Amino acid sequence: MDKETLIEGLNRDLAGEYRAILQYLQHSYMLKGLERLTLGELFKKFAIGEMKHAEFLAEKIVALGGVPTVTPLSIVQPTTAREMLQANLAAERQAIADYKERADQAEEYGDEGLEVELEEIMAEETRHAEELEKLLGG
């Protein structure tokens, strides 16, 4: 595993975190009625966690000699609470898969600290996915 490939992957993860931040916030703003009080607050809480992930990734990219991306992955803007939950669950599942791949790359590259940090982020994304699954009734 070479450093440039690792940086490229971390930048994809960073773009995913930017999407998550914007998507969770957008969804929290668009909710109406009682869902605004419950899901809206949960989405804002998740967005704050994603900001911490983005900060870590950006700092690590710079430490490796790269330049952090400023472009998010495409944002999904559904109109119903259920569709929002489904879109966010899909994004969390993708993030889990991406972080698993990146942790494997970090191990191959020989950066144990990065591997551990990515596994911790993956665990948090897993908790988010599980919460969204419960809210969807599954």
Q: Which residues span the domain enclosing 110?
A: 3-135
17/73 Cα distance (integer angstroms)? 8
Q: Is 80 left (phi over 0), alpha (psi -120 to 50) or beta?
A: beta
Cα 42 to Cα 132: distance, rounded to the nearest angstrom: 10
In this predicted structure, the answer to whether residue 17 has a pLDDT above a threshold of 80 is yes
CATH number of the domain to which 25 belongs: 1.20.1260.10
Dist CA 76 CA 60 (whole Å): 27
| Confidence category of residue 31, pLDDT binned at 50, 70, 90 | very high
Of the candidates 28, 17, 24, the one whose C-alpha atom is nearest the C-alpha of residue 46 is 24
- In degrees, rounded to 5, the angle at the alpha carbon of residue 12 between the alpha carbons of residues 60 and 9 is 65
Query: pLDDT digits over 62-118, tens only?
Result: 999 999 999 999 999 999 999 999 999 999 999 999 999 999 999 999 999 999 999
User: Structure pTM?
Assistant: 0.96
The SS3 call for residue 7 is: helix
Total domains present in the chain: 1
Confidence check: pLDDT of 120 > 80: yes
